[in-house]
């Protein structure tokens, strides 16, 4: 399985080459085009209950699509819904990543997707909801972001502060605390940051250069209000 | 697991930030890490560290990984162990000085899990309780909040809407119609014990069949409604109904409900000015305020009793409601906010039948003259 990112930048697309018999699972609706040798199946990843919990708990889609090269090798073009970069991670079976609910684009068959419950404070204040996706296993993992993706590399004990709505994915070897952006409550919110996550290494933190919620609020002002 | 599958992540100066997968073996003297080579064919590299140089703690996102650190020649090394077999082997082989830190790490993991379970069960319980509480107690809560709003504040709310409305309409300043409505209000209000409201009634020149009451006791009667009424008792019936919306503070209840839970809490905690900002907005809403079915029933029943106490024939109320519903002519707006139903009329009839018979007192004006005055400009015959 080989992948190549086409048109890197705001509107990328990823080309995945599948050998005969190989398959990839992608977020439903992610397929843009594919070779005629590819079959599209819809699958409830993790079984019915797993799919149900993913749907209701993380807000992810109930069905994933499986793209299978069942009639010979071929290629698939995949793209996310929102404008923004795509990152390719190669899971080695040891490194695991937590991914915010809109961050998953596609994964090789060896990648396991679980919805995992967060702690109360992280769920309540982290802006990612109480349940997030945990990616483990082995193989290629494609994540998408809103805006550009920036990778933060943290050495053991190194700290970094991230606005909670800019998170895309982070290693499970990192740990984070939610805290107010400034020492005062009022200033925390008037500064426009509210809560931030203080990450502590080692591990990787992927952040997105745009905040989907902030963008939504900005767009809303231009939408005519119906009477 | 094959012998060469990595089972841990090793962090250090020369390794990438997401660590290097390595295979950890627990041996008698310490740990041996084997790093798979970058090139497929290349030799793999090994490193050993004695137990005596290790420090351990719990770490990772959920504090469920065993973190082992030591100082190597190349700098600080950190090992993240997750594999339960390796952790077990490590705990068994670890010498005395590591037992305590290992116990502490294990305790930390247990504590995190336990705390999470407790917090989640408390949150679940609280959620369930608040859902049940809101389901059964929302009316109670609204009632509590409404009770905290002083009448003066309520009057201010109604007043601004009242003046806005009158500024846009043709007001009948005096004449028989105004006198008649005032007499009705006077007789009804006289039967209300401990009445905190000074009712303010205005007749508005309009063919629309409507009458409404704003919070604080501001009542508006349209000439269209008076023209439709065949007797003064019919108008008095509508007024009695509207007065009771004011007395039961139905308008406020609706506003508080519409503003939502936060408003309720802020009022209940004694912060009514927090609502002041939305008053202007509400002024517009007040005109089209629809009452709930329970509120209509309450206003019907208490209105009927009020008519009875004021010795005004309550059957006028019922017949007028029914006649308005039957004849679908003109703009009977009163019905859009007070939908008539057979059940409603039946309930009123039953209610009336239960009251002991009594003689009624007629009004001092002549209804025919009042109605005639409505057709002349300015309301004066």
Quote the pLDDT of residue B1. Answer: 44
Q: Residue written as tokens 């009771």?
A: B244
Separation between Cα atoms, residue A193 and residue A178, nearest integer Å: 12
Of A94, A117, A204, the CB nearest to B17: A204
**Same domain? B94 vs B176:** no
Tell me the per-residue pLDDT of B229-238, one tens digit each, with 9 for 90 and over: 888 988 998 8
Same domain, B231 and B337: yes
State how far the Cα of A147 lies from the Cα of A111, in Å rounded to an integer.
Answer: 25
Q: How confident is the model at residue B79 (pLDDT cuts 50, 70, 90)?
A: very high
Residue B139 has pLDDT above 60, yes or no: yes
Does residue B278 have a pLDDT over 60? no
Is B305 buried (19+), middle (13-18) or exposed (0-12) by CB count in 10 A? middle
- Nearest chain A residue (CA) to B8: A94
Cβ–Cβ gap B9/A173 under 8 Å: yes
Residue B284: per-residue pLDDT: 46
What span, in angstroms and rounded, lies between the C-alpha atoms of B286 and B167?
16
pLDDT of residue A74: 94
**Which pLDDT score is estimated for A31?**
92
**For tokens 């003064």, what's the residue?**
B232
* Sheet containing B200-205, strands listed edge to edge, beginning at the edge strand earlier in sequence: B170-172, B200-205, B218-222, B211-214
B183, B330: one domain: yes
Q: What share of chain A is helix, strand, coil (3-state, %, to 5)?
A: 15, 45, 35
CB contact under 8 A, B19 and A95: yes
User: Do B173 and B29 sit in the same domain of this protein?
Assistant: no
Domain boundary among B81, B109, B137: B109
Range(s) of the domain holding residue B342: 149-379
Q: Which pLDDT score is estimated for A84?
A: 93
- Note the ipTM here: 0.78
Fold of A2-218: Double-stranded beta-helix (3.60.160)
B362 at interface of A, judged by CB pairs closer than 8 A: no
Instruction: Give pLDDT, residue A49.
Output: 65
CA A199/CA A202 separation, integer angstroms: 9
Residue B133 phi, psi dihedral angles, 5° rounding: -60, -45
Contact A100, A167 (CB under 8 A): yes
Total residues belonging to chain A: 227
C-alpha dihedral sign at A208, A212, A213, A216: positive
B174 and B100 fall within a common domain: no
Q: Per the domain annotation, does B131 fall within a domain?
A: no
Closest alpha carbon within chain B to A124: B123
Instruction: Give yes or no: residues B185 and B246 share one domain.
Output: yes
Give A142's pLDDT tier (boundaries 50, 70, 90): very high
Among B37, B61, B117, most A C-beta atoms within 10 A, so best to mutate, is B61
- By three-state DSSP, how is residue A77 classified? strand
Q: Are residues B235 and B170 in the same domain?
A: yes
Strand partners, B68: B56, B79
Query: Do residues B209 and B296 share a domain?
Result: yes
- Tell me the shortest Cα–Cα distance from A172 to chain B, in angstroms: 5
Q: Is residue B121 part of a domain?
A: no
Cβ-based contacts of A98 with chain B (< 8 Å): 61
Q: Say yes or no for a CB contact (<8 Å) between B123 and A173.
A: no
Classify residue B75 as left (phi > 0), alpha (psi -120 to 50) or beta.
left
Same domain, B159 and B97: no
Q: Are B32 and B41 in contact (CB under 8 A)?
A: no
Q: What is the CATH number of the domain that holds B29?
A: 2.30.29
Alpha carbons A215 and B328: distance in angstroms, whole number: 51
Put simply, whether A117 touches B (Cβ < 8 Å) is yes
Interchain contact, A98 vs B61, CB within 8 Å = yes
CB-closest option in B5, B78, B119 to A202: B78
- The answer to whether position B142 is within a domain reads no
Number of domains, chain B:
2
The per-residue pLDDT for range B147-161, each reduced to its tens digit, is 777 787 778 777 877
- Confidence band for B330, pLDDT divided at 50, 70 and 90: low
Query: Average of pLDDT values for B122-133?
Result: 87
> Please, are residues A56 and A97 in contact by the beta-carbon 8 Å criterion?
no
B239: left (phi over 0), alpha (psi -120 to 50) or beta: alpha
Among chain A residues, CA nearest to B117: A119
pLDDT digits 0-9 by tens, A23-41: 998 988 899 999 999 998 8
Using a CB-CB cut-off of 8 Å, the residues of chain B touching A93 are 5-6, 21
> Can you give the pLDDT at residue A41?
85
Same domain, B353 and B261: yes
Looking at the fold, whether B20 and B160 belong to one and the same domain comes out as no
Alpha helices in A84-143 (DSSP H): 120-125
Confidence of residue A221 (pLDDT cuts 50, 70, 90): confident
Those residues whose C-beta lies under 8 Å from the C-beta of residue A2, and which sit 6 or more positions away, are A16, A17
Cα-to-chain-centroid distance, residue B113: 34
Q: Which chain B residues are within 8 Å of A95, Cβ to Cβ?
A: 9, 18-19, 21
Query: Are residues B183 and B97 located together in one domain of the fold?
Result: no
B36 inside 8 A of chain A by CB:
no
pLDDT at B381: 42
In chain B, beta strands by DSSP E: 8-11, 20-26, 30-35, 45-50, 55-59, 65-72, 75-81, 170-172, 200-205, 211-214, 218-222
pLDDT at position B287 is 59
Give the confidence band of B209 by pLDDT, cuts at 50, 70, 90: confident
- Whether B270 shows a pLDDT value over 90: the answer reads no
* Residue extents of the structural domains in chain A: 2-218
Last residue of a domain, one of B109, B140, B167: B109
Q: Minimum mean pLDDT among A163-172, B97-106, B140-149, B359-368: which range?
A: B140-149
Using CB atoms, pick whichever of B9, B69, B123 lies closest to residue A94.
B9
- CB contacts under 8 A, A 76-115 vs B, are 92-95, 98
Q: With 0-12 CB in 10 A as exposed, 13-18 as middle and 19+ as buried, what is B377?
A: exposed
Q: Count the Cβ atoms, other than its own, within 10 Å of residue A176.
A: 22
Q: What is the pLDDT of residue B120?
A: 82
Is the confidence at residue A44, as pLDDT, over 70? no
Q: B119 in a domain, yes or no? A: no
Q: Which among B109, B134, B165 is the end of a domain?
A: B109
Between residues B175 and B278, the one the model is more confident about? B175
d(CA A186, CA A170): 29
Residues of B in contact with A170 (CB under 8 A): 61
Evaluate whether residue B84 is within a structural domain: yes
Answer whether A172 sits within 8 Å of B123, measured CB to CB.
Answer: no
């Amino acid at each position: 399985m080989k992948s190549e990112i086409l048109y890197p930048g705001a509107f990328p697309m990823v080309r995945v080459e599948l050998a005969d018999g190989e398959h990839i699972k992608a977020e439903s609706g992610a397929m843009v085009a594919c070779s005629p040798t590819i079959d599209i199946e819809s699958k409830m990843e993790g079984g019915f209950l797993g799919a149900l919990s993913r749907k209701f708990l993380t807000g992810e889609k109930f069905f994933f699509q499986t793209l299978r090269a069942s009639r010979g090798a071929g290629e698939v073009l995949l793209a996310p819904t929102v404008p923004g970069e795509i990152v390719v991670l190669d899971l080695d079976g040891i490194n695991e990543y937590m991914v915010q609910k809109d961050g998953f684009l596609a994964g090789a068959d060896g990648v396991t997707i679980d919805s995992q419950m967060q702690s109360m404070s992280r769920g309540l204040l982290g802006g990612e909801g109480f349940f997030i996706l945990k990616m483990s296993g082995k193989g290629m993992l494609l994540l998408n972001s809103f805006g550009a993706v920036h990778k933060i590399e943290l050495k053991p004990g190194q700290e970094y502060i991230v606005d909670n709505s800019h998170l895309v994915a982070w290693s499970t070897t990192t740990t984070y605390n939610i805290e107010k952006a400034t020492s005062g409550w009022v200033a925390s919110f008037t500064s426009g940051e509210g809560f931030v996550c203080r990450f502590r290494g080692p591990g990787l933190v992927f952040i997105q250069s745009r905040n989907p919620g902030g963008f939504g609020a900005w767009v809303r002002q231009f939408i005519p209000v119906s009477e | 697991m094959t012998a060469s599958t990595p089972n841990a992540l090793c962090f250090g100066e020369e390794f990438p930030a997401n660590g290097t997968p390595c295979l950890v073996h627990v041996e008698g003297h310490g740990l041996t890490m084997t790093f798979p080579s970058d090139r497929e064919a290349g030799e793999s590299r090994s490193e050993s560290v004695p137990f005596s140089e290790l420090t351990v703690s719990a770490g990772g996102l959920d504090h469920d990984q065993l973190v082992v650190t030591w100082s190597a020649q190349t700098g600080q090394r950190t090992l993240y162990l997750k594999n339960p077999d390796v952790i077990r082997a490590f705990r068994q082989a670890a010498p005395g000085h590591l037992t305590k830190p290992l116990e502490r790490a294990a305790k930390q993991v247990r504590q995190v899990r336990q705390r999470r379970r407790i917090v989640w069960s408390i949150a679940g319980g609280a959620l369930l309780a608040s859902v049940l509480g809101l389901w059964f107690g929302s009316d109670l809560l609204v009632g509590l909040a409404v009770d905290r709003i002083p009448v003066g504040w309520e009057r201010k709310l109604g007043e601004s809407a009242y003046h806005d409305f009158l500024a846009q309409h043709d007001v009948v300043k005096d004449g028989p119609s105004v006198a008649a409505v005032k007499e009705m209000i006077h007789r009804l209000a006289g039967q209300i014990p401990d009445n905190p409201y000074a009712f303010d009634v205005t007749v508005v020149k309009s063919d629309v069949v409507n009458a409404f009451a704003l919070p604080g006791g501001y009542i508006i009667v349209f000439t269209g409604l008076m023209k439709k009424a065949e007797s003064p008792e019919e108008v008095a019936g509508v007024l009695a109904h509207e007065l009771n919306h004011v007395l039961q503070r139905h308008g406020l209840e609706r506003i508080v409900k519409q503003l939502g839970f936060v408003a309720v809490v802020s009022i209940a905690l004694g912060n009514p000015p927090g609502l002041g900002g939305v008053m202007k907005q509400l002024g517009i809403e007040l005109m089209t305020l629809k009452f709930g079915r329970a509120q209509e029933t309450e206003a019907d029943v208490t209105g009927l009793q009020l008519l009875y106490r004021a010795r005004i024939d309550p059957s006028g109320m019922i017949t007028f409601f029914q006649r308005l519903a039957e004849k679908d002519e003109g703009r009977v707006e009163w019905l859009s906010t007070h939908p008539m139903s057979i059940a409603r009329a039946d309930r009123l009839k039953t209610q009336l039948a239960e009251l002991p018979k009594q003689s009624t007192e007629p009004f001092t004006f002549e209804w025919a003259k009042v109605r005639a005055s409505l057709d002349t400009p300015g309301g004066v015959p």
